[in-house]
Structure 1
Amino acid sequence: MSAKESNEPLETIELNNHRKITILGTAHVSQASADKVKELIATQAFDAVAVELCPSRYKAIIEPDQLAKMDLFQVIRQGQAYMVAASLALGAFQQRMAESMGIEPGAEMRTAIRDAQAASLPVILIDREIGVTLKRIYHNFPWWQRFGLFGGLLASIISRETPSTEEIERLKEGDVLESTFSQLAENQQDLYQPLIAERDQYMSARLLQEIAQGQHQHTLAIVGAGHMQGIGNLLRSPDPRSPNEVINELDVVPQRSRWIQYAPWVIVALILTGFFLGFQRGPEIGLAMVIDWVLINGGLSAMGALIALAHPLTIVTAFLAAPLTSLNPMVGAGMVAAAAEIYLRKPKVSDFMRLRHDTVRLSGWWQNRVTRTLLVFLLASFGSAIGTYVAGFRIFDRLSGN
């Protein structure tokens, strides 16, 4: 087998234990890649098939209706709403690209799973969980760049514009995550490390781990073309550490620094101190501060819910909840507003089933009850966060002016 037989890059690496790994570099929106996968598995030259999928992405392929089983309130309560929204947006980007080329997104991975199972070959999942990768990307960026990065991500992915030739060519390199984020952070090492380099390390370690644990003599590894060189280099010159050590290190989700954890409580303490000083100077000043706090914080949170086209009672809930929840960092206005929206407009099974289709269109994010609830959470939370700072400055402005 050589790369000359196909336009799809192909390389076979022989390890020290005389076992072999053939790496096929694919494009995730290429019918030619899917055809090449089918051709290779049909040769019966392999006793295992490894795919660039994590458990959650694999499950999404073999159980396309799994989203219908998602407990939306639990997702929000457990702080996973941002990751779910980002994952849906990434899927929408890939779907939009695939539709522009007239094929099914991820066709080569579906072909690999289906044909490997038909040939009774084990399917090995070698990629890191997408949630861990997104969190490590988020952690790698300075805090002042994070809103711009993910805001730009969501804006570009749900855009109704036809994908440009450059976007399509970049995606043909084979990594949907890289294709998406590279437009928002060109040439940034902060992005490259968790998105590409770490996943190269992770996937090569997973391949070595599986070969060490199993009896696979010749494994076919199907990865995005953008990862092929990095994985190949790491297989030829493995990390001196054991595969388990590499995987465990790369699976760690970075913790927030202590000052970020304490910052909300410090802000609450400053706001309450402002109220105390205001009432000390006179009931009128203190009452004016409370009114400022309620109107600004509640108003901006309600505006966020309004932009998300929330139910009218949800908008009222956001207005009433924000001034109170902003004084308790354990509960957010977005969570309360989202809970009200779920109660008032409970998503139907059909909403979950249509998620992949609806998220491709900008209007679909507002029409689908699931994504609209996520928008309510995100925008009401964002409005309340802005309101906290604006109202806080207003409170101390009253103190300094009186």
Structure 2
Amino acid sequence: MRRAETIFFFAPICGSKYTDVSAKSATHIAAATNKVLNLCKSVRTQKVSAVVIASPITTSNKEKIFTKPHATFERGIPVFYLRTLTKKGLNRIFAAWGYLFAAKRICTCEGRKSAVFYNFFIEYTLALILLKIMGIPAYLDVEDGPRADEKDFRGFVNRVSYWIISRLTVDRKLVASKKLAEKLKFDDYCVVYGAVSSNLTREKKASGGIKILYGGALMRDTGLDLFLDALNNLSKCTLPSKLTFVVTGFADRDLSNIPFNLTSSNIDVHLKLGCSRQEYLEELKTSFASLALKLPSTEMGSTTYPSKTLEVAAEGLLLISTDVSDVGAVFTSGVNALILEREDPLCLVRAIKSILEQPKRFEEIARAGRDLIMTEHSYQAVGARLCRFLS
């Protein structure tokens, strides 16, 4: 690609600099925000400009009906937050006009340009039609495939939206995993699991016990029940050293009773649900391992890839994951990660007990995981691969 090229990323992200008063009603999708910003950083290593056009998903807010348009930098990436409507049901219709206005401005920009649309949100439609008319290539980045188990109106809209958006974008697709590409029957695609920084933090040590991080959107499909059952079993075991769990993100149920239901004094559970990104990063830096427990048997497990596996491995944490999506293709269990044989609580218990019994061995495995990710999925490596595909 030539130096003058700009890639515009369309995505409903909501970063820390989204400071409008109505941002209190915005949906913060950490995984989407992290991945989009990291892909922008990746293409910039190839002398290609990257800009994010974002219309955060907002819901009812009594203070304001509209949010203000906002231009800022998120982690060094220019982001243009569009004006949004905070009325549920109408917000996405309003977002469609915002994206259309942004696309119209893009058409007047000088130099080579292309666009990447994060997932298949229906509000992209008008913008895509304009870009198609103007001959500006638009690529679809499929992060979460349409799910057959969603039988409600939302599921219907998602399937229709995917059908429309996939046809308005070029045939070449970006996709979250090879398994998802095969499921969607893509012929020409580029798998992008994510991208990570080459700035390594200090290594984790296992002295004084083990601290394990578990976070994200916590529900049955992402392994919450698996985690709780394993925790219950661990509390009945005799453990060789102190075990601490830090739970972050957002849960679909009340978890406040967990710390009080444990019968073992050798286990602590710290609930930090809804913590800020900075607080999360502090926990990440001081943890020994991290759980990625998305269930392979669910539709969610077969339609996306847990991109946080790259983030935790790059930070030098030991990855403990189910064998979901392409995890087994990216990592090798016992070599650079610990992959559960089955989505079973006892498998998770055995894995955690083995870490407590052989912490030095698993420090080496975590180090190997970090080396793998920094080689294959650094900003430079992903940026080169992505720019070759988009050109």
- Give the TM-score band, short-chain normalised: under 0.3
TM-score normalised to structure 2 length: 0.25
Q: Which has the higher strand share?
A: 2
TM score, norm. by length of structure 1 = 0.25
Higher relative contact order (CA 8 A, sep 6+): 1
Higher helix residue share: 1
Higher Rg of the two aligned structures:
1
